[in-house]
Amino acid sequence: MSEHSPLDLAEGDPFGPHNLPYGVFSTAEEPDRRRLGVRIGGYVLDAGAAAHALGSPYASLLAQPGLNPLLAAGRTAWRDVRRALTAWVTVPAHRADVEPLLHPLDAVTLHLPYEVADYVDFYASEHHATNVGRIFRPDGDALTPNWKHLPIGYHGRAGTVVVSGTDVVRPCGQRKAPTDPAPVFGPSVKLDIEAEVGFLVGTPSELGRPVPLADFREHVFGLTLLNDWSARDVQAWEYVPLGPFLGKSFQTSVSAWVTPLEALDAARTAPPARDLPLLPYLDDADEEEQGGFDLRISVEINGEVVAEPPFSSMYWTAAQQLAHMTVNGASLRTGDLYGSGTVSGPEVNQRGSLLELTWNGRDALELSGGKRTFLEDGDEVVLTAWAPGPDGTRVALGEVRGRIAPAVV
């Protein structure tokens, strides 16, 4: 046994054995061979090689270039694999087998760990929806009449979901201020972020069969941070009457790590009190059916924290979103990903978009590198988050990082 093992983590490491998120990596030696990895501390365990070395019955499921087969394997497999992984990184007798299969994080390339099937984005923060309503419809009600009756959502572009670290090329598009006689075309001048949490579906469902609230954990494997980059000027001109399209579809960034729901048992929390009675398929008064999570998100621009949105403040939960998304009989596929919607809390410094933080550009943020209303070329945005883990630990989510590259014109 080595004296300084990578498995000897610092006290309170938020990527300890209580976390164990999944990713996909390759090494400099074999750049074309993608492998399932599990993060432990500052290392990636080659999960397929470990399963092989230790004679796991899940060796073939883990010796894959992506996460989809494990996602499709279902909740019993998820639990058993996690149990095995926990043993491999904690039981001293396994160290000799496991240590050679650990790669330092800075020596690997991380890839999008799953193939996205359908991507849906929700709008579940009351604070966010209220802020947006006040900004865009100052003379009307902040919330539309349907808002507290159903979790509003729409489909986004699955093909442009990319892994953390991918540059964001500033999109071009049409924009038109209300006073302009005609739209103009060019690079977006209101490029924004949306700090969100994404939920990843493992177990599919049949066409015509709604998924009830209580079955959330049978279908959803885990979660990820998600930055729903938004071109506000493009969006404002295009979105009536059929919703956001090009203002969103250029890119959506997700963590390289998927945190299994099982790692977040200590973070389960009740959603805010409901102001209006809910239809039965959305009614989560039963505590067992509540899908809230206590995640503390942090938004950094160029290394400076600009907001700390609390996920526990979301009005609609991921379980309600799943129930709603399928109540019309729409089926789920392995790899379906759905975003929570921008996470904004009640306080000014808890808002998860620049639209809200600067009130659509009216109140610039004073950063050490200069004022910001919306993003400038070269800006780097990083989302991080942690949740309470067992026994006073913290569970960190994988970060989402993206730098703005100039428009291609």
Active site residues: 128
Our finding on whether 183 is near a copy of itself (CB under 8 A) is yes
User: Scanning residues 33 to 72, which ones bind a copy of itself (CB under 8 A)?
Assistant: none
Q: Does 327 engage in binding with a copy of itself (CB under 8 A)?
A: yes
Sheet containing strand 394-405, edge to edge, reads 168-169, 394-405, 380-388, 296-301, 304-307
Nearer to a copy of itself, 61 or 161 (CB): 161
Residue identified by tokens 């991080």 is 384
Instruction: Kindly tell me which residue out of 100, 209, 265, 369 binds a copy of itself, with binding defined by CB under 8 A.
Output: 209
Indicate the residue among 201 and 306 with the shorter CB distance to a copy of itself: 201
Site for a copy of itself in 77-136 (CB under 8 A): 117-119, 123
Q: Which of the stretches 65-73, 78-86, 158-166, 311-319 binds a copy of itself when contact is defined by CB under 8 A?
A: 158-166
Q: Does residue 169 interact with a copy of itself by CB under 8 A?
A: yes
Q: Rounded to the nearest whole angstrom, what is the least distance from the CB of residue 222 to a copy of itself in the complex? A: 19
Q: Is 154 one of the binding residues for a copy of itself (CB under 8 A)?
A: yes
The verdict on whether residue 121 carries a ligand-binding annotation is yes
Q: Within 241-270, which residues bind a copy of itself (CB under 8 A)? A: 241-247, 249-251
Enter the tokens of residue 34: 């993608």
Binding site for a copy of itself (CB under 8 A): 117-119, 123, 144-146, 149-150, 152-160, 162, 169, 171-174, 176, 182-183, 185, 207-210, 231, 234, 237-247, 249-251, 276-277, 279-281, 324-325, 327-333, 336, 408
Binding residues for Ca(2+), as ranges, are 121, 194, 196, 228
